[in-house]
Amino acid sequence: MAGNILIIALVVADQQLHTPMYFFLGNLSCLETCYASTILPRMLAILQTGDRTISVNSCFVQYYSFGGLLAAECYLLSEMSYDRYLAICKPLHYGTLMNGRFCLQLAVGSWISSFVIVGMFTYLISQLTFCGHNEVDHFFCEFTALLKLSCSDTYLVELMAFIVASVDTFSPFLLTLASYIFIVATILRIPTTTGKQKAFSTCSSHFIVHPSTGLL
């Protein structure tokens, strides 16, 4: 958390970092800080006090927060790769295409759309009937653990989960993959080794700040 908060502070304070690339890195760091704030406080309280109970409402709030942040992360990572695609593959048009207003629209759209979609899905889960044992088989309230507590027919919810997961993860993954394919192809056409290294270095910050970017 300290590292992510430091990145946010640097991006805000340093005028030289007020660029699209660092704007998205700041958003990702903010998201990572929220991630930790969603799960870790309750987990630490359990370890300290031994009280493993959580209310139903708190459980759904935790699930909603984590799911929304996870979806927003997928969108932000794809937007970061698109930003690097424009910077490397279309450098002459980069300043016009990736302006401040467009960056803000992308970031706000990622956060809002993610929480709206996950909110509707969370509502569907909350309409299930829960009976029998009331122990969540996980250290936080996640999808599979909640379904195990339900005695309702969960087919519709599982189908919606597949659709939502496909939209929130597979589409951004394809955009990220396509962006980096074009990036690598463009860099390989650069005649000088120095030029290739400089182009590759502009993508390094994404991999350093968030390891899962490399997986995408």
pLDDT, tens digit, 9 for 90 and up, residues 135-191: 787 778 888 888 888 888 888 888 888 888 887 788 888 988 898 888 888 888 878
Look-up of token digits 């370890």 = 47
Using CB atoms within 10 Å of the CB of residue 194, give its burial: 0 to 12 exposed, 13 to 18 middle, 19+ buried.
exposed
d(CA 128, CA 108): 31
With a cut of 80, say whether residue 199 has pLDDT above it: no
Number of domains present in the structure of the chain: 1
The two tokens of residue 170 are 């597979």
State the pLDDT at residue 132: 65
> Max CA-CA distance within the chain?
67
Contact 128, 154 (CB under 8 A): yes
pTM given for the model? 0.82
Q: What CATH number did the domain enclosing 134 receive?
A: 1.20.1070.10
d(CA 72, CA 74): 5
The two tokens of residue 201 are 């270095």
Tell me how far CA of residue 41 lies from CA of 12, 46, 66, 192, in angstroms.
Answer: 26, 9, 13, 50
Q: In whole numbers, what is the pLDDT of the chain averaged over residues?
A: 83
Contact 134, 151 (CB under 8 A): no
Range of the structural domain that residue 200 is part of: 2-215
d(CA 178, CA 216): 11
- DSSP, collapsed to helix, strand or coil, labels residue 107 as helix
Percentage of the chain exceeding pLDDT 70: 93
pLDDT, tens digit, 9 for 90 and up, residues 39-65: 888 888 888 887 788 888 888 888 899
State the pLDDT at residue 145: 83
